[in-house]
Chain A
């Protein structure tokens, strides 16, 4: 998938990471979102209630499945059960693209329960190339990969974050799901200039953006998806929208849910940024 192919993907606009508590408000104010991102794992072997929920969402919104547990960075390969379930969800939803993370979540038969960073080495890139190839065989829909927050880096890294992501996306031929909040969080916790990193990322591969706010704990930012988006993240989002035209922007609120109107206001602000991005580029949204 060359960057030209990525640029040819249709634009979806602005939306929410769907969580069940949003359902009533979403259907009362359908114009708030242009599309929704669903957590793929929530619909693995769905109960009848989850099946109905998915059908309802499909009937109203374009959906993008977002995987959490495929563990594309696992050197021992992919878990067949997870890959099969993920393929079922994607086949059901028929999205324009689907997404996963630059991370691993399981190894040696043990689940970590969340995203862990991989070493920034060419061996890790080789692992991703093989795993993405296998995922693509099962799921023939464009795949985009998300940058994660990390508490640590591995010893003996061969590349810095920008170089690693650039080479990884190039070798796997995937698009980038740029989580602007993750970029900001890492820049605070690991003390670097996020704009400098942004300039070195392959922005021509950006397909989608994530944004939200986290909280502070013991002097560190935690990516808890639990607060309103802070101003520095808005500024980064604006910088990204000046540099590239994302096909979709998702607000990823999971915790400490506010009244829906607050989310609607954030989405409206994101929509203004997105529209200015496509207007500058002369593209009709």
Chain B
């Protein structure tokens, strides 16, 4: 249990009367990409907020390599764990390179001027994410998809051991979706881990080692994507009838038929 890069133990969260999470237990092993899926409002984003300690659970705890996150200072937690939000409010015209370099903050001193090594890292990451050509543009001028890539670059520059991504491909075209998921796979290659919230089941099945389905505030099922993506689970989690077929590489492809109950409610 304590060997996991990130471990949720019995996490419960309520917003007023509404119980969003009712005892979620989930492990993200070292070196693994875990996909997190579930219908809108299932508590996926809430779980990521609990992991990054911007939201306190009413019960349960989160461990990073066996240590409870409450014992970390904010800075130390930011060295362990980076978050790519769905989108972000921007109030001042920071340039893309400045936003990417913000990812170095947990590693910098009081006045926080970046070293040559920090800048070289940012250049390298921007090249890998494919945003170097607009490094000097204002973040206010970017499209939703471009902004999402900038936030991914910022998280990579943070050099965390665990990456939490909240629908990182929501605003992206197909080519960029594949590219981003490849980046996440590369990230996990040398013992680091990622937890990716995604609505694109087929694509995240290909990119992840494990897939967890959230329903009714609990983990409905967790395992290899092929084991978890069954018509029964999809019906329980999303209220839809779906066929699951095999892609030529063996990964599962979800083909929805029609809603059987309450998916739109």
Verify that A and B bind, or say they do not.
no
Q: Which residues of A contact B (CB under 8 A)?
A: none
Q: Which residues of B contact A (CB under 8 A)?
A: none
